Amino acid sequence: MSSLKEILRKYRAFPIKRLGQNFLFDKKVLKKIVKEAELSKKEIVLEIGPGIGNLTKELAKEAKKVIAIEKDKRMVEILKKELKNLDNVEIIEGDAREKIEEIAKRIGKNYKIVANIPYYLTSFLIRKILELKNKPKLIVLMVQKEVAKRICAKPPKMNLLAVSVQFFAKPEIVSFVSKNSFWPSPKVDSAILKISNLKTKISKTERDLFFKIVKAGFSQPRKQLINNLSKKLGIDKKKVEDWLLKNKISPRKRAEALTIENWKALAKSFEN
């Protein structure tokens, strides 16, 4: 941590809370993230929010190239100076939410996303990544512990975020990370989340219908499916009951009890 503070002091920079800047300094954790990314010298890594480049340096040792997107101008300057001797690192200044699609388009097929992302962006960024036309082969992210647990939930504890991720891919928690591995220390512990088996052949029509039904089902999580689907989709309750029973789902169940396969079956058999 002393070297982290020294670098920030050297450039008269400090962490900005509204940007979610909690710098990861624990070398064991940094190496664990890189190991889980299973990198080769043929692969490109897209890193979001590199900060001062602690993770970037480790990724650059294993990958063909690292493309790092950083929003904070101060961090961009630090990265350019501190990593100037690494010829396989490209630093892009900008907001990942706006630039990721354009970068993914030009990057080619053989790439992975590895990042310690600002926690306030987690849900939005994951959804954005999973909906990219040119999807990464693998995603390894540092996220809040509770968010990781929600994403990896199983019935009867499913939630909208879990369904949103598991529709596209297979998420798993690699390990939990203490809040003391960061500076400044966040209020909660974190987790390394690995997302693999990303599906590439999902049409927009299929995706939109699936989420229309899922969002209707979860519209009031404590209510029964038959009520939520009838109200939000504007379908008669008897018709909804027949539709659910046809797919071997009890109309009295709640959305949290359904599997991804249940939702897919409902979307496949949907008749408005």
pLDDT at position 95 is 94
> Residue 201 — pLDDT band, cuts 50, 70, 90?
confident
Query: Which residues 6+ apart lie within 8 Å of 224 measured at CB?
Result: 251, 252, 253, 254
Q: What are the pLDDT digits (tens) for 97-135?
A: 999 999 999 998 899 999 998 888 899 999 999 999 999
Residue 85 confidence (pLDDT) above 80: yes
Instruction: Pick the closest to residue 152 from 125, 171, 175 (CA basis).
Output: 171
Residue 169 confidence (pLDDT) above 90: yes
* Average pLDDT of the residues in 219-242: 96
SS3 at position 26? coil
**Domains of the chain, with CATH numbers?**
2-196 (3.40.50.150), 204-268 (1.10.8.100)
pLDDT at position 108 is 87
3 vs 8, 9, 77, 209, 218, CA distance in Å?
A: 9, 10, 17, 50, 47
pLDDT at position 1 is 64
> Residue 146 — pLDDT band, cuts 50, 70, 90?
very high
% of the chain residues with pLDDT over 90: 86
What's 131's DSSP letter?
A: T
Query: For 252-269, b where at least 16 C-beta lie within 10 A, e where not — what string?
Result: ebbbbebebebbbbbbee
pLDDT at position 272 is 65
Q: Which of 11-25, 27-41, 178-192 has the lowest mean pLDDT?
A: 11-25
pLDDT at position 17 is 84
**Average pLDDT of the chain to the nearest whole number:** 95
